[in-house]
Amino acid sequence: MRSLRTGLSLASLLATLGTLLLTAPAAHAADTPLRDLGTAKGKVIGTAVTGSKLTGTYGDIAGAQFSSLTPGNAMKWGSVEPTQGSFNWAEADQIVNFAEAHGQQVRGHTLVWHSQNPSWLTNGSWTPAQLGTLLDNHIATEAGRYKGRIAAWDVVNEPFNEDGTYRSTLWYNGLGSGYIARALTDARAADPAAKLYINDYNVEGVNAKSTALYNLVKSLKEQGVPIDGVGLQAHLILGQVPSTLQQNIQRFADLGVDVAITELDIRMALPADSTKLAQQKADYKAVTAACVAVTRCVNLTVWGFADSDSWVDSTFPGYGAATPYDANYAPKPAYYGIAEALGGTTTPPPTGACSAAYSVPSQWNTGFTGNVTISCSGASLSSWKVTWTYGAGQQITQAWNATCTQTGAAVSCTNASYNGTVPDGGSVTFGFNANWSGSNPVPTVTLG
C-alpha cells in the first residue's frame, strides 16, 4: 500500500478539467425530453455545442434533449478561414452531420461579426470595394456550402451599441450601415431556404438598443431586404429577466418576423446555493414562458447546456453556474424551469444529491493525469471518500488535493485537511498521475 499526496494548486486543476465525466445522473428517465415538450408547443429547443465534445454523456444529452444545435464557434469566420483562401470546415461539418443524424435543425452562427475574425482579415487594409467583395465571397462560400442544411443563419451579429447607434466595426467603418442589407441579400442568394436573422445581446427588453434593432428590421422590410427573424441572445443575470421581454418579442413578431432566443444563459455570483438555483429556475421558466406566449417565437437555444461548457466563468470572474445542467451533467432546477414552462409535468428536481466524476484531462504513452470532481446540488458534504477499481492495471503514482491509496486494482481517495467541505451547489476537484499500458479504460467511481 502506498500513501500519496502533494500540493498542486486546485486552480491549475480546474483549468484543465477534462471532458470525460462519468457517474452523471442523466435527466430523469421518466421525464419527457425538452425537444419533445417544445414540439408540442411549436417551439424548437436548442443548444450551442462544441463539435469535439459530441460523444459520451455530452453527446447523449445534446442529441436527446434538443431539436436544434448552434455551433458555438465552429462557423465563425476565424474558425473556417484562418488563412485567406484556406478553409477548415471539420468542426462545422461534424456538428451539421450530428444534427442531421439526430433529426435536429442547425442555426448557423455567424456570417458577419466584428469579433472572432481571422487576423488576415482584421489586419488587412482594404478599400471599400475590396471589403465588399470579401463579404460577398465569404457569405457565398459558407452559406453556399451548407445550402439547404441550415434552418436559420445569424447573418449579422451584434451590429449595435448600447445606445442604439451602429457599432464601429470593420464592416460599418468600411461599408456604412448598408453592409447589413448587403449581407442579408448575399445570404438569401446563397441559401434561399434558410431563415435570415440579425442577432444581438441586451435587446431582450424594450430599450434603446432593441428599439434601434426594431427600427432597422422595419426599414429593411419596407425596402424589401430579406430579413426573416431577430435573435435575442439573452445572456442574463440572476433575477434580472427584463419585465418587458414578452412585449418586446411581440413587437418584433408584429413586424412580421420570427423571433428566437438564441444564446440563453443566466449567470449568478458563485458559489451557487439552493436559493440561487431556485431563482434561476424561476428565471429560466419566465424566459421560456415569454417565448411560449408568442407564436412567432420559434426557437429557444441555451448557450451551452452544462456549467462545465459555458463561456461565462472565464469571462465574468466570480460568476457562473449559468446553464440548465451542472458540471456533472445532472439537470439543475433551471432545467425543470424550462420543462415546466413548456408544459412538462416533471419529476421534482432531486434534492440531497452529491456525485463524483472521473476525467482524464491528459494522457501520454505510458502515463496520464486524472481528475475527480465531487459536486453537490441540494446537499453538502463535510468529508468525502471516492473509490474505484482499475480494470487494466493502471497504477497511481502521485495525487494532490486528496490522500489516495492503491491496493492492487482498488483505489481509495479521501479529502485533504482543507477540502473536505463540498457546499450545496459547489464542487471540489482532486488530481493524480498514474501509469498505464495497453489500454486505459475509465473506471466507475463511487462516492461514499
Cis? peptide before 443, omega within 30° of 0? no
Catalytic residue ranges: 158, 263
Identify whether the C-beta of residue 265 lies closer than 8 Å to the C-beta of residue 236: yes
**Other CB atoms closer than 10 Å to residue 188's CB: what's the count?**
20
Site string for ligand 9MR, 173-212 (x = CB under 6 A): ----------------------------x-----------
Instruction: Say whether residue 313 binds ligand 9MR (CB under 6 A).
Output: no
Nearer to ligand 9MR, 73 or 380 (CB): 73
DSSP 319-388: EE--SSB-TTSPBPHHHHHHHHHTT--PPPPP-SEEEEEEEEEEE-SSEEEEEEEEEEES--BSS-EEEE
Chain-centroid distance of CA 331 in Å reads 14
Type and span of the H or E element at 438: none
Could you tell me which residues come within 8 angstroms of residue 426 by beta carbon, excluding any fewer than 6 positions away?
271, 272, 375, 376, 380
Q: How far is the CB of 20 from ligand 9MR (least distance, A)?
A: 20
Give the C-alpha distances (Å, rounded to integers) separating 416 from 6, 7, 321, 395, 404.
10, 10, 25, 20, 10
Q: How far is the CB of 180 from ligand 9MR (least distance, A)?
A: 17
Backbone angles phi, psi at 60, to 5 degrees: -60, -45
Q: How far is the CB of 235 from ligand 9MR (least distance, A)?
A: 6
Instruction: Say whether residue 73 binds ligand 9MR (CB under 6 A).
Output: yes
Give the C-alpha distances (Å, rounded to integers) separating 36 from 129, 158, 291.
48, 31, 16
Identify whether the C-beta of residue 24 lies closer than 8 Å to the C-beta of residue 307: no
Helices 208-222 and 245-254, axial angle in degrees (round to 10): 10
Q: How far is the CB of 335 from ligand 9MR (least distance, A)?
A: 20
Question: Can you say whether the dihedral through the CA atoms of 15, 21, 25, 31 is positive or negative?
Answer: positive
Instruction: Say whether residue 233 binds ligand 9MR (CB under 6 A).
Output: yes
Subset of 92-151 contacting ligand 9MR (CB under 6 A): 115-116
Identify whether the C-beta of residue 83 lies closer than 8 Å to the C-beta of residue 120: yes
Nearer to ligand 9MR, 37 or 266 (CB): 266
Give the C-alpha distances (Å, rounded to integers) separating 396 from 65, 367, 369, 414.
37, 9, 9, 14
Nearer to ligand 9MR, 110 or 248 (CB): 110
Q: How far is the CB of 290 from ligand 9MR (least distance, A)?
A: 20
Instruction: Say whether residue 161 binds ligand 9MR (CB under 6 A).
Output: no
State which amino acid sits at residue 16. Answer: T
Total binding residues for ligand 9MR by CB under 6 A?
Answer: 9
Nearer to ligand 9MR, 12 or 116 (CB): 116
- First vs last Cα of the chain: how many Å apart? 21
Q: Which residue among 89, 166, 311, 368 contacts ligand 9MR (CB under 6 A)?
A: 311
Q: Which residue among 186, 191, 204, 263 contacts ligand 9MR (CB under 6 A)?
A: 263
Nearer to ligand 9MR, 179 or 201 (CB): 201
Nearer to ligand 9MR, 50 or 406 (CB): 50
Question: Can you say whether the dihedral through the CA atoms of 92, 98, 101, 103 is positive or negative?
Answer: negative
Instruction: Say whether residue 316 binds ligand 9MR (CB under 6 A).
Output: no
Give the C-alpha distances (Å, rounded to integers) separating 398 from 2, 220, 236, 436.
10, 63, 42, 14
Nearer to ligand 9MR, 303 or 400 (CB): 303
Nearer to ligand 9MR, 105 or 433 (CB): 105
Q: How far is the CB of 72 from ligand 9MR (least distance, A)?
A: 4
Q: How far is the CB of 420 from ligand 9MR (least distance, A)?
A: 34
Nearer to ligand 9MR, 52 or 397 (CB): 52
Q: Which residue among 72, 108, 324, 443 contacts ligand 9MR (CB under 6 A)?
A: 72
Q: How far is the CB of 285 from ligand 9MR (least distance, A)?
A: 23
- Per DSSP, the three-state class of 103 is coil
Q: How far is the CB of 314 from ligand 9MR (least distance, A)?
A: 8
Could you tell me which residues come within 8 angstroms of residue 232 by beta carbon, excluding any fewer than 6 positions away?
200, 203, 204, 210, 248, 249, 259, 260, 261, 262
- Please give the grid coordinates belonging to residue 172: 460599418
Residue nearest to ligand 9MR (CB): 311
Residues that bind ligand 9MR (CB under 6 A): 72-73, 115-116, 157, 201, 233, 263, 311
